[in-house]
Amino acid sequence: MNKEDELCAGTKERILEAAIGCFAEKGYGATKVADICTLAGTNIASVNYHFRSKEALYRASWERVLDASSKAYPQDGGVEEDAPAEERLRGRIRGILQVALSDEPLAFNFMSHEMSNPTGLLKMVMEQSIDPMVKALEDIISEIIGEGASEELLREAASLVIGPPLYLMRRRKIQSVIGQSPWFAADDLERLLSHFTDFAVAGLKTMRPAGKK
């Protein structure tokens, strides 16, 4: 890569990083391209050259955030695919808790803004990230509950497993906004993971058909 290409790539990266910060803080509608340019130290012409439009830049920001989140906090929690179902469930809960206890949950911030003022990209996020995560969780739950679990029951069970970590995430966000110290931090991960996993496994076992509990 020659010097000119390096400068061009550097400008594109600065624009993307600035956009991620702006979109995460303000959402799509409240973010102005001029704000992004100021943070990136560039101009609107550069934004148009590298990303063509604000919409395309927003999509690229979403994709970067989702990719970074999946690498930093693997959805499987680092547990092997052939591990016992309860261990894989623990791994899935770990992945969600790591995001919930993160000091900079960018993906969650993007999601919150998108739900409040949708642009249409939420469907992409559901299809690429959330739906596969929920399906993998339902498959694990099905193994724990046993054969015969209905699709409706699996959805209910997945909601019960995901719910507590998501509550923590929302609570931490609210506490941050109003200036309160969060109830829990990253140092509490292992303790919370044990409690949440034990709670989830015990609850799932009550959903087993009679004679299999």
Q: Is residue 183 part of a domain?
A: yes
Overall pTM > 0.85: no
Could you tell me if 47 and 83 lie in one domain?
A: no
Residue 13 tokens read as 């990266």
User: What does the mean pLDDT of the chain come to?
Assistant: 89
Mean pLDDT within 96-108: 83
DSSP line for 158-174: HHHHHHHHHHHHHHHHH
Residue 173's pLDDT band (cuts 50, 70, 90): confident
Could you tell me if 143 and 45 lie in one domain?
A: no
pLDDT tops 80 at residue 9: no
Residue 1's pLDDT band (cuts 50, 70, 90): low
What's the rounded Cα separation, in Å, for the pair 50 and 12? Answer: 6
Q: How many C-beta neighbours within 10 Å does residue 11 have?
A: 18
Which residue range is the domain that position 44 belongs to?
Answer: 3-61
Weakest-pLDDT range from 11-25, 71-85, 105-119, 151-165: 105-119
CATH code of 189's domain = 1.10.357.10
Alpha helices in 41-187 (DSSP H): 44-51, 54-72, 85-100, 106-116, 122-125, 131-145, 151-178
Q: How many C-beta neighbours within 10 Å does residue 92 have?
A: 26
Last residue of a domain, one of 61, 87, 111: 61
pLDDT tops 90 at residue 53: yes
Could you tell me if 200 and 153 lie in one domain?
A: yes
Mean pLDDT within 20-29: 94
Last residue of a domain, one of 39, 61, 83: 61
What's the rounded Cα separation, in Å, for the pair 208 and 210? Answer: 6
Q: Is residue 213 part of a domain?
A: no
Read off the pLDDT of residues 125-162 as tens digits, 9 standing for 90 and up: 888 888 999 999 999 999 999 888 899 999 999 999 99
Is residue 141 within 8 Å of 82, Cβ to Cβ? no
Could you tell me if 80 and 27 lie in one domain?
A: no
What's the rounded Cα separation, in Å, for the pair 113 and 29? Answer: 9
Tally the domains of the chain.
Answer: 2
Could you tell me if 82 and 179 lie in one domain?
A: yes
Read off the pLDDT of residues 63-98 as tens digits, 9 standing for 90 and up: 999 888 888 889 999 999 999 999 999 999 999 999
pLDDT tops 90 at residue 109: no
Could you tell me if 47 and 77 lie in one domain?
A: no
